[in-house]
C-alpha cells in the first residue's frame, strides 16, 4: 500500500479526477480528506470509501475563499493528526470562456479565482502543515493547454493553468530542501463531464480526437493513477516538473488540415 499511514487532502474530490483519486488513495492506505463545494457528492465519496473499509472525512470548501482554504487544512490536521499530501485539484471551465475579445471580465475573474487563486490558497495554508509533518507532497492540477494552445478558445482557463505551472515551479524550488515536493499534473482531454459538456456531438468529439495520437480520450481513473505515483515515494526524486498525462497530444505536430 503506497500511501499507508499518510493523510491526503484532495480538493474538488466530489467528482471527476478528484473522486477517482480519493477512492484510489484510500485503497492505497491513505486517510482522505474530501474537500468540495458540493456537499452531497463529497459526502457520497466518503461513504464509498468507508464502504470499502477506508478512512475518509468530508469538509465543505470553496477553494477561492481564504477562510475555507485555511479551515480545510486545519480540518485535516484535527481529524487525522497531520497532512502529508495536498492535491489542489478543484477547477472550473466556464461555458462562456472564449477569446480575449469575447470573454467577459466576470468569467475571467471567476476562473482565476478558482483555478489559480484556489491553488495559491491551498499552498498558502497547506505548506505550513506539511512543514509540521516534516515534509510531504503538493500536487497541483494544471492542463495540457498550459503547454499547447487550445483548439477551441478558452483563454481564461488556459491562462489560469499556465499560472499553475509557474506557481508550481517556483514553490518546488523554494521548498526542495524542506523535504516538500511540488508537482504540476497536466491531464490531456478526458472523458469527463467537464469536457464532454462541450463536445456534445460526435463531430465535435472527432475534431478533438484527431489531435490525440492515441486516438481516444483519457479517463479520470488514469489521471488518478498518475496522481498516486506523484503522491507516493515512487516519485521521490521528482519535483518542480509538469507531469503530462495526455495521450501524446503535446508531442504531436498538428497540420491545419487536421484542425
Task: Look at residue 243 and give its three-state secondary structure.
Answer: strand
pTM of the model: 0.94
Cα gap 55→4, rounded to integer Å: 11
| pLDDT 10s digits, 189-208 | 887 776 766 666 777 677 77
Does residue 69 fall inside a structural domain?
yes
Percentages helix, strand, coil for the chain (3-state, rounded to 5) are 50, 15, 35
In a domain, residue 220? The reply is yes
Q: Is residue 222 part of a domain?
A: yes
Examine residue 251 and state whether it is found in any structural domain, yes or no: no
Q: What percent of the chain has pLDDT above 90? A: 81
C-alpha distances (whole Å) from 33 to each of 43, 72, 129, 158 are 11, 8, 14, 28
Measure the CA–CA gap between 173 and 178, rounded to whole angstroms: 10
Residue 253 to residue 219: CA distance in whole angstroms: 23
Q: So what's the pLDDT on residue 196?
A: 62
Enclosing domain of residue 91: 7-245
- Tell me the mean pLDDT in the region 69-73: 98
Domain-located, residue 250: no
Query: Would you say residue 88 lies in a domain?
Result: yes
- Residue 111 belongs to a domain with what CATH number? 3.40.50.720
Higher pLDDT, 255 or 145: 145
Count how many residues are written for the chain: 259
| Span 174-192, pLDDT tens digits | 999 999 999 999 998 887 7
Across 165-180, average pLDDT = 98
Which pLDDT value is given to residue 257?
A: 44
Query: Would the pLDDT of 62 be above 80?
Result: yes
Indicate the average pLDDT of the chain: 93
- Tell me, what's the pLDDT at 258? 47
Position 256 pLDDT exceeds 80? no
Residue 151: pLDDT above 80? no
Written as nine digits, the cell of 72 is: 480545510
pLDDT at position 180 is: 98
Alpha-carbon radius of gyration of the chain? 18
CB 70 within 8 A of CB 125: yes
Total number of domains constituting the chain? 1
Which one is predicted more confidently, 79 or 258?
A: 79
CA distance 68 to 59: 9
Question: Is-contact 141 89, C-beta < 8 A?
Answer: yes
Which residues are designated catalytic? 157
31-52 burial string, b = 16+ CB within 10 Å, else e?
Answer: bbbbbbbeeebbbbbbebbeee
User: Are the beta carbons of 33 and 12 closer than 8 angstroms?
Assistant: no
**Secondary structure element (H or E) that encloses residue 47, with its range:** helix 39-51
The per-residue pLDDT for 20 is 98
> For position 38, what pLDDT does the model report?
98
Q: What is the pLDDT of residues 77-126, one digit of tens each?
A: 999 999 999 999 999 999 899 999 999 999 999 999 999 999 999 999 99
Q: Is residue 239 part of a domain?
A: yes
Average pLDDT (27-40) is 98
Q: Which helix (H) or strand (E) holds 7?
A: strand 7-11
Residue 123 in domain: yes
The gap from C-alpha 223 to its chain's centroid, in whole angstroms, comes to 9
- What are the angstrom distances between the C-alpha of 83 and each of 9, 30, 78, 252? 7, 11, 10, 38
Bridge partner list, 8: 32, 85
| Beta carbons of 97 and 154 less than 8 angstroms apart | yes
**Cα 109 vs. chain centroid, distance in angstroms?**
19
Question: How does pLDDT run across 41-53, given as a tens digit for each residue?
Answer: 999 999 999 999 9
Amino acid at each position: 500500500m503506497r500511501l499507508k499511514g499518510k493523510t491526503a487532502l484532495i480538493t474538488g474530490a466530489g467528482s471527476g479526477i478528484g473522486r477517482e483519486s480519493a477512492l484510489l488513495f484510500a485503497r492505497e492506505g491513505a486517510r482522505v480528506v474530501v474537500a468540495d463545494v458540493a456537499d452531497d457528492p463529497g459526502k457520497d465519496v466518503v461513504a464509498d470509501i468507508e464502504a470499502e473499509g477506508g478512512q475518509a472525512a468530508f469538509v465543505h470548501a470553496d477553494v477561492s475563499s481564504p477562510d475555507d482554504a485555511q479551515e480545510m487544512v486545519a480540518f485535516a490536521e484535527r481529524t487525522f493528526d497531520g497532512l502529508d499530501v495536498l492535491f489542489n485539484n478543484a477547477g472550473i471551465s466556464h461555458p462562456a470562456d472564449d477569446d480575449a475579445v469575447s470573454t467577459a471580465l466576470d468569467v475571467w475573474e471567476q476562473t482565476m479565482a478558482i483555478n489559480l487563486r484556489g491553488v495559491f490558497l491551498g499552498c498558502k495554508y497547506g505548506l505550513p502543515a506539511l512543514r509540521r509533518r516534516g515534509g510531504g507532497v503538493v500536487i497541483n492540477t494544471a492542463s495540457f493547454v498550459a503547454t499547447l494552445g487550445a483548439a477551441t478558445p478558452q483563454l481564461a482557463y488556459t491562462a489560469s493553468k499556465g499560472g499553475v505551472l509557474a506557481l508550481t515551479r517556483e514553490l518546488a524550488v523554494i521548498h526542495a530542501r524542506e523535504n516538500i515536493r511540488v508537482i504540476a499534473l497536466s491531464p490531456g482531454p478526458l472523458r469527463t463531464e467537464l469536457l464532454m459538456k462541450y463536445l456534445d456531438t460526435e463531430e465535435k468529439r472527432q475534431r478533438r480526437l484527431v489531435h490525440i495520437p492515441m486516438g481516444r480520450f483519457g479517463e479520470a481513473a488514469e489521471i488518478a493513477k498518475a496522481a498516486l505515483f506523484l503522491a507516493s515515494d515512487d516519485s521521490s526524486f521528482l519535483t518542480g516538473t509538469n507531469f503530462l498525462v495526455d495521450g501524446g497530444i503535446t508531442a504531436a505536430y498538428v497540420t491545419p488540415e487536421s484542425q
